[in-house]
Amino acid sequence: MPVEREIFGHLPDGTAIERVTLRRDGGLTARIISYGAALQALLVADSAGAIDDIVLGFDALEPYTRPGCYFGMTVGRYANRIAGGRFVIDGAQVSLACNNGPNALHGGINGFSRKAWRIVSAEDGPVPSLTLTCRSRDGEEGYPGTVETRLSYSLPTPYELLLEITATSDRATVVNLTNHSFFNLDGTTAGDILQHRLQIAADHFLAVDETAIPLQEPPRDVTGTPFDFRQPHPIGARIRHPDEQLRRGRGYDHNYCLAPADGLPTDALPTDDLPADDLRLAARVEAPHSGRIMELHTNQPGLQLYSGNFLDGSVAGKHGRLHRQADAFCLEPQIWPDAPNRPDFPSARLTPGMIYRHRTLYRFTA
């Protein structure tokens, strides 16, 4: 059967956490756990046909529940950072839990990544899919409004993983959700990702201060900087340049302002199964060793590039492997960081009657 369900573990209060496996014959296998609606594993063939897992994670539930763990998680109510854990909406001051120095990060101490999501359906039809929901109550982590979120993972073709998220609120609030998978296209037991060739459809990025909050300036042009990935470059080719922004992030940890049009040119496989509406190609990554290629298509205005700068060997992942700096990269489609405090940024405001929509497609070839 294309869809399998099993108990992955239990939370301290006895709540059962399930793992659901989605498969396409001759193609991808995706495993998702209901804790944090996390992508726990993604099995993809390389250029020789060998199958390997390409996302960091754990073989058991307990490590996912530790503070600061975001491997594969769905993060929110606000992905990325909000300066000072404060913003104003409709004249009212909102104060959030600060869990990243002076700032709020990824929804706070008990954000969406810390929730046991409810499985609504696990479909084993022509397009295997999993749908989960969660509720964030008014005042949770300081955010106004009760937010109802619905998320689905599906395999529309043997080579594609589609993530779709919708959310509604009964009060004016802010919402910004994303998946926080750590990728290594050579496999989770391979070396670092510094030779992975990355291309991003963005002319500008957001420069940040020492606490990773965007500076009070317009987006910076990438031209002539180590942040220019408009043409493919190895992630590590310029990561040691004496650039103040690389120093502040200990590498890449910056939001790219995505091009509003069609993005990068592509020779990818045609897809008739998907509506040709709001998805555009934002990034492409190629691993020279395995030959795996990942394209990321999204409807979001920003893409956070993170080069695994704070992986320090203190965490043992699958198969007991210790993950160290640059063992993986993240590409997180999202609204820009600190947008609730920046009227010049794309808005994260969600009001009653509106629907927040996030769509991201991962396409794999070799």
- pLDDT (tens digit, 9 = 90+) per residue, 34-87? 999 999 999 999 999 999 999 999 999 999 999 999 999 999 999 999 999 999
Q: Given this model, what pLDDT does residue 259 score? A: 73
Query: Residue 4 catalytic?
Result: no
Which segments of the chain does DSSP mark as H helices, in order?
244-249
Q: List, in order, residues 6 or more apart from 139 with CB less than 8 Å away.
A: none
Interatomic CA distance for residues 8 and 61, integer angstroms:
6
Q: What confidence tens digit (pLDDT) does each residue in 167-218 have?
A: 999 999 999 999 999 999 999 888 899 999 999 999 999 999 999 999 999 9
Please report which confidence band the pLDDT of residue 265 belongs to, taking 50, 70 and 90 as the band edges.
Answer: very low
Please report which confidence band the pLDDT of residue 264 belongs to, taking 50, 70 and 90 as the band edges.
Answer: very low
Q: How many Cα atoms within 13 Å fall on the side-chain side of residue 69?
A: 24
357 contacts 165 by C-beta, under 8 angstroms: yes
285 contacts 200 by C-beta, under 8 angstroms: no
Q: Given this model, what pLDDT does residue 278 score? A: 83
Q: Which of 18, 297, 332, 358 is catalytic?
A: 332
Q: What confidence tens digit (pLDDT) does each residue in 303-312 have?
A: 999 999 999 9
Q: What is the DSSP string of 208-245?
A: B-TTSPBPSSPPEE-TTSTT--SS-EETTSSTTS--HH
Among 11-15, 63-67, 274-278, 352-356, the range scoring the smallest mean pLDDT is 274-278
Give the dihedral of Cα atoms 109, 113, 114, 118; nearest 10 deg.
150
Phi, psi dihedrals of residue 84, rounded to the nearest 5°:
65, 5
Interatomic CA distance for residues 27 and 328, integer angstroms:
22
Q: Which of 106, 180, 196, 358 is catalytic?
A: 180
Q: What is the pTM of this model?
A: 0.94
Q: How much is the mean pLDDT over the chain?
A: 94
Query: Residue 180 catalytic?
Result: yes
Q: Given this model, what pLDDT does residue 276 score? A: 46
